[in-house]
Amino acid sequence: MKKPDLALLAAVVCTAAWMITSAAEAHTGTGLPGGFKSGFLHPLTGFDHMLAMVSVGIWGAFLGRPLIVALPVIFPTVMAVGGALGMANVPFPPVEIGIGVSVLVMGAVIALAWRAPIWAACLIVGVFALFHGYAHGKELPSAADPIGYSVGFVLATGLLHVAGIGVGLLNDRPNGIVVTRSIGGFVALCGVYFLYVALSK
């Protein structure tokens, strides 16, 4: 992605964030324990979620068009579906294991600089988004505002993706690929730890 395109993307995201935030504060009961503010802050306080979401942006930047845009759109969209499943208590595979695997795999594809086909990248990100969304949905406090919460965590996720894209643009600089692949290795190691903890429970 060229720098002007990134600037345009950042401007669009910031504008959307301002509009959504204003609407959410006015109409979705931010005072509730599970309102907009709670949903927005949740992805920023869970290290496993944050690593996965930033990694999606980094991998998208590495893969280039159209995935630099498609992956950050697919993840929050499918995550919202997963969140709805979690709120509805729909039976689901072990979520913590799925999240651990997602962090491990996302770190590995960056560390290995894997240029996945478009369909494979979309499938991987979409499946992992279901697990992250389901976890968010299950953690929604009772008597909370599900709409405000959902808007909050989807918006925060999008911003984390944009941050990841910014890191991924280091690939265009001399030796930048070494930095991003090293970050991928660190993320993968964190994924191993999260998976170990999940399997130990």
CB burial of residue 163 (10 Å; 0-12, 13-18, 19+): middle
Q: How does DSSP assign 25-51, residue by residue?
A: HHHS-TTSTTSHHHHHHHHHH-HHHHH
Q: What predicted TM-score, i.e. pTM, was given to this entire model? A: 0.77
Percent of the chain past pLDDT 90, that is, above it, reads 35
* Residue for token pair 């949740």: 42
Token pair, residue 100, equals 């651990």
Helix 95-111, helix 176-200: angle, nearest 10: 160
pLDDT higher at 84 or 146: 84
Question: Could you state, in order of their start, the residue ranges of all structural domains in the chain?
Answer: 3-200
More confident residue, 71 or 152: 71
pLDDT in tens, 27-84: 333 344 567 777 787 777 778 888 998 999 999 998 988 999 899 889 988 988 998 8
pLDDT value at residue 33: 56
Work out the pLDDT band at 151, boundaries 50, 70, 90: confident
Which DSSP string corresponds to 112-124?
TT----HHHHHHH
- Least reliable range by pLDDT among 64-73, 90-99, 143-152: 143-152
Chain CA centroid to CA 180, Å = 17
Determine which helix (DSSP H) or strand (DSSP E) holds 196, and give its type and residue range: helix 176-200
**What would the mean pLDDT of 164-168 be, rounded to a whole number?**
88
Contact 138, 82 (CB under 8 A): no
Q: Which residues contact 126 (CB under 8 A, 6 or more apart)?
A: 74, 75, 78
Overall average pLDDT of the 10-17 stretch: 42
Q: Tokens representing 31?
A: 């005072």
Share in percent of the chain as helix, strand, coil (round to 5): 80, 0, 20
Residue 8 neighbours by CB distance under 10 Å:
12
| Residues contacting 107, CB < 8 A, separation 6+ | 51, 55, 184, 185, 186, 187, 188, 189, 190, 191
- Give the residue carrying structure tokens 């709805």: 84
Mean pLDDT of the chain: 79
